[in-house]
Structure 1
Amino acid sequence: MRLFELLLTLSCFVLLIDLLFVTRNAKKTDMALGIGSSILFVVQLAVEGYRWQMLLIYGLTGLFILIILFKHAKKRMAIKIGKPLRYSIASFIVILLALSVCLMVYLPVFHLPKPDGAEKVGTQTFHFTDSSRDEVLTEEQSDKRELMVQIWYPTENRDNNKSEFLFPKDKEMFKKYIQTYSNSLNLPDFVFDYWKYSKTNSYENVEILPSTSPYPVVLLSHGMGTSRFLHASQAENLASHGYIVVTIDHTYSTFATIFPDGSVTDYRTKMKTVDERRKIGKIWTQDVEFVIDQIEKLNSGAIESQFQGKIDLNHMGAMGHSFGGATAFNTTYLDNRIKAGINMDGSLYEVENRDVINKPFMFIRSGVFKAWLEEFKNNTDPDNEVIKQLSDELQIMKNVINHQGNVIYIEGTQHFNFADLQFYSPLIKLTGITGDINGSRGSLIVNQYVLDFFNKHLKGTGGNLIQGPNDRYPEVKFIEPREL
């Protein structure tokens, strides 16, 4: 709960006690409470903003203030309430207050955790069109592949700008954005309206921090059906440690992607078969390769920007979650421009001719990986295509370990502990898509191992955490080749 939300809730409770259980006629006290609550009401709306989870608090506060005014009017009717009715009314109102508090606590206005690097973080968004590729996920034959790309980078923030909101600031754009989510989930639009208050730790369109040498770059792909917004905290953390991070929205594979003209694309991806997975995987891989081309143009000045000469193209990494993690592996394998990569809990969609990888790579798996591994070994069926693919994937992991790479899993995590969804609501944990681990703790661990890996392989520093078990992070378990 935000500060003035909490204060307004407490004042509402105090008004309830005063009206029902203070028997003496204390006009000054009543009026002081009414005025104080009115001020809190106005301040909360003006400073923090309305959100629907507070509707019961708003309504009860307004009702209590009106009762106080009526109670002390010159001409009033004396209304006596017996104890049974008084306690019944109080109990009912307390239940309403508790319901409102639960809505505020379990559907909170969340902010991204602060990055732990030394630098402030800037961000800038680009709209790229690949004129060489037709868009195959729409019915319009003239459509070309369009991507929204957000870049995060170190900054001084000389103008002392305020940190940015996570979602689009423009009201119409934001409305279209949440409508796409609500339509996909068959929920009313207002359910997601409070997302407009969620803030990042980044500053939009500020100047990049001057440096004597260019910054290494990491490309980051989201999971299937999510978006780049769900990996903003990971991007911010890397940027605060001196990286340029490029997050990609893979169009039509997100719940919603909003473009500069106000248009919003929804989810249109089909992946019912292995072949369909490979087809989409190829599109995503081409997306990453195209974005690398644009990064090169930004660095050379072919695309005018502040990033000219600031990007270290010789030290480039790729990472992703779920399907984006599989894309990070595939792109790392195929594109020589990428020097190291990380797959966060993603099953590979392409395993043929991928058995030997000669670059540093790290698989970070969720806490169920070890149990899944044991179950898989006990149910091997060489004639089953899925089992064969999984067997090939394990062989790839074994080869990764043998080529300066790592395979680790984090106890207590589930699939979406590798994205920012765990910060949106405590209710997420009840669905089982995040694990028992505290969300902030899980995020910290992932960020530390991602940073340590890229520090070693892109900067030539660090690498202590990925050497083996560490007492600071007992949740992290390392897989040996003999276990695969």
Structure 2
Amino acid sequence: MTDVVAARRRKGVRWGVAVGGLVTASALVVAVLGAEGAQGPTGAAGIGGPAAPSVHTPAAGPRTAPMTLPAPTGRHRVGTVSLHLVDRQHRDPWAAGQQHRELMVSVRYPARADAGRYPRAPQMLPGEAAGFDRLNSFSEYVPKGKVAWGATRTHAHEGAPVAPHRGRRLPVVLYSPGAGDPRSLGSTLCDELASRGYVVVTIDHTYEAPAVQFPDGRVARSVMPQEIARARKAGRMTQLLRKVAGVRVADTRFVLDELARSGPGSVLPGALRRAVDLDAVGMFGQSAGGFTAAQAMHDDRRIRAAANMDGVMGYTQRDDDPSHPSTVGTDGVDRPLLLMGKEGDTHHRVASWGAVWAHSTGWHRDLTLGGSQHASYTDAEALIPQVARKLGLPRADVAKMIGTVRPGRAVVAQRADVSAFFDRWLRGQGSGLLDGPSSRCPEVRFVP
């Protein structure tokens, strides 16, 4: 059964957390999460109790002003609702004391023209922002307690009515973030797709994300630092990476199950439930989220197309290591797969990508965003330049985080390619953008 609560709301290819998505599969996990030490931010019981005692309070001092995200370019305004999903059939795999797996997801959708009457949703709730401040993949360059991560607003309006869709149901796209990243770090692309007529469902992977805030105020903080410390000590990093990927795919399939529920048990508000087309489902993600998208498509026929943005697809700590492959690597996929890598990450250089490429019979493309870094495929591309200006960060540090590609151009290219991919395979509307190099996106290189 399911409880649903509408809530207000670097090395090479990464798995994505920095476990901001296991950076090679585990480089970021180790580099970022491991930096917190063996004790980590909290134990598995972090989900229990009121929010206030469990939320980290950043160091005192001046903080940046609110940052802004790029406005979506589609013809629709964007609405959003957050859902609290409870899997009562399974215990939580990361928290021994939790009888059920709890997830928070956000649903973005095309909204009516009067959506502006409804408040814009925050990118992160207070507990999530506090968790992200203390545990994120930018901490080497951005000082803790200096950025107002919780002050940024998305372009999605909370509870806005669904736009009229004239009897045509709307395709659904799932989003999984990098390992150790919150679902909200992909807001720019998710808002964009919703403005273009998609229903976009973003998933927080509880106890892996820095912090997940539930409607009753509880905050579940990451247990990855402790998990990584134990795995390293026991020489079981490969097993940990397998578990992270397995939990993520299970979360994804559970969310799909819940979206399909009808009648009194439906998790979606009525108008939105009637609008979605669950026969046209795609998925994308960054880093570990990209791996999740590809692996979930391999495992679940309901997913018709997947896009992997710079996520390694094996259980290894090195991008060039062909050992410990995933089943998506050994089998490939028979449905469309888009690979989008940072500068230097291609199927010729990343072993797991090469395996998927060699074994896949479905349509597949490999694109490189010139001058990009791993985090370029997240909201960091828009946020880090603002942080840098306000805190006076060195240009060299900014380049290490998001590369040298012009941020505005990086956003344009990602929006164009991801939208073109899902338009083609979920709507049957080919623009030709993914058929070869285009003057519209000169930063994007096609890898043969």
TM-score range, shorter chain: 0.7 to 0.9
- Does the CA contact (< 8 Å) of 1:124 and 1:152 recur in 2? yes
1:134 aligned residue? 91
Q: Once the two structures are superposed, what CA deviation does each residue of 1:315-370 show, in whole Å capped at 9, x if it has no partner?
A: 10011100010000000111010110000000013523643311011111111225
AA partner of residue 357 (structure 2): M
> Is residue 285–residue 331 contact of structure 1 (8 Å, CA) maintained in 2?
yes
The partner residue of 1:125 within 82, 89, 112 is 82
| Deviating more after overlay: 435-444 vs 178-187 | 178-187
- Does structure 1 retain, via aligned residues, the 8 Å contact 2:381–2:410? no
TM-score (norm 1): 0.68
Q: Distance in 2 between matches of 1:268 and 1:54?
A: 28
1:247 aligns with 2:207: no
Give me the whole-angstrom Cα distance separating, in 2, the residues matched to 1:422 and 1:303.
33
SS at 1:326's partner residue?
helix
Q: Report 1:449-464 matches (<5 A).
A: 449-464=417-432
Task: State the alpha-carbon separation in 1 of the partners of residues 194 and 268 from structure 2.
Answer: 21
Displacement of 1:392 after TM fit?
4.9
Distance (whole Å) between structure 1 residues aligned to residue 297 and residue 124 of structure 2: 31
1:364 aligned partner: 340
Contact 1:179/1:189 (8 A) holds in 2: no
Counterparts of 2:263 and 2:432, CA distance in 1: 31
- The C-alpha deviation readout for 1:237-293, integer Å capped at 9, x for no partner, is 000111000000011111111111111111212355122111110100000000001
1:228 aligns with 2:183: yes
Q: 2:87 aligned with 1:112, yes or no?
A: no
Corresponding residue for residue 203 of structure 1: 157
Indicate conservation of the 8 Å contact 2:210/2:221, yes or no: yes
Partner of 1:466: 434
Is the alpha carbon distance of 1:241 and 1:184 closer, same or farther for their aligned partners in structure 2, counting shifts above 3 Å?
closer
CA deviations 1:133-160 (Å, max 9, x no partner) are 11121231x4311100000000115364
Alpha-carbon distance change, 159 to 404 in structure 1, aligned in 2, over 3 angstroms: closer
Equivalent of 1:407 in 363, 366, 377: 366
One-letter amino acid of the counterpart of residue 129, structure 1: V
Q: Measure the CA separation in 2 of the matches of 1:300 and 1:457.
A: 32
Where in structure 1 are there 5+ consecutive unaligned residues?
1-51, 56-102, 377-389
Taking the aligned partners of 1:434 and 1:245, their CA distance within structure 2 comes to: 25
- Partners of 1:121 and 1:260 in 2: CA distance: 22
| Equivalent pair of 1:423/1:439 in contact (CA under 8 Å) | yes
Q: Which amino acid is 1:115 matched to?
A: P
Distance in 2 of aligned mates of 1:149 and 1:299: 20
Which has more radius of gyration?
1
SS of 2:307 mapped into structure 1: strand
Q: CA RMSD in A?
A: 2.7
Aligned-partner SS, 1:433: helix
Query: Secondary structure of the residue that 2:179 maps to in structure 1?
Result: coil
Aligned residue type for 1:113: P
Q: Secondary structure at the match of 1:297?
A: coil
AA of the residue aligned to 1:231: G
- Cα offsets for 1:283-324 (capped at 9, x unmatched): 000000000011111689634623222111111001110001
Gap change, CA 1:412 and 1:196, over 3 Å in 2: same
1:182-193 aligned within 5 A = 182-184=133-135, 190-192=145-147
The amino acid of 1:335's aligned partner reads: D
2: CA distance, partners of 1:475 / 1:223: 23
Alpha carbons 2:305, 2:335 under 8 Å: kept: yes
Q: 4+ runs of 1 displaced by more than 6 Å?
A: 52-55, 185-189
Shift, 1:163, TM fit: 4.5
- Separation in structure 1 between the aligned mates of residue 259 and residue 414 of structure 2, nearest angstrom: 26
| Distance apart, 1:207 and its partner CA | 1.2
With over 3 angstroms needed to count, the CA separation of the structure-2 counterparts of 1:318 and 1:447, relative to structure 1, is same
Identity rate, percent: 27
Compare 390-399 and 360-369 and name the one that shifted more.
Answer: 390-399
Residue 475 of structure 1: aligned partner: 443
- Where 1:341 maps in the other structure, the secondary structure is strand
Task: Report the secondary structure of 2:90's partner residue.
Answer: strand
Q: How many corresponding residue pairs? A: 355
Q: Please state whether the residue corresponding to 2:93 is helix, strand or coil.
A: coil
- Of Structure 1 and Structure 2, which has the larger fraction of its residues in helix? 1
Which residue in the other structure is 1:345 paired with?
310
Aligned to 2:215: 260
Correspondence for 2:47: none
**Of 394, 397, 408, which residue of structure 2 is paired with 1:440?**
408
Aligned residue identity for 2:426 = L
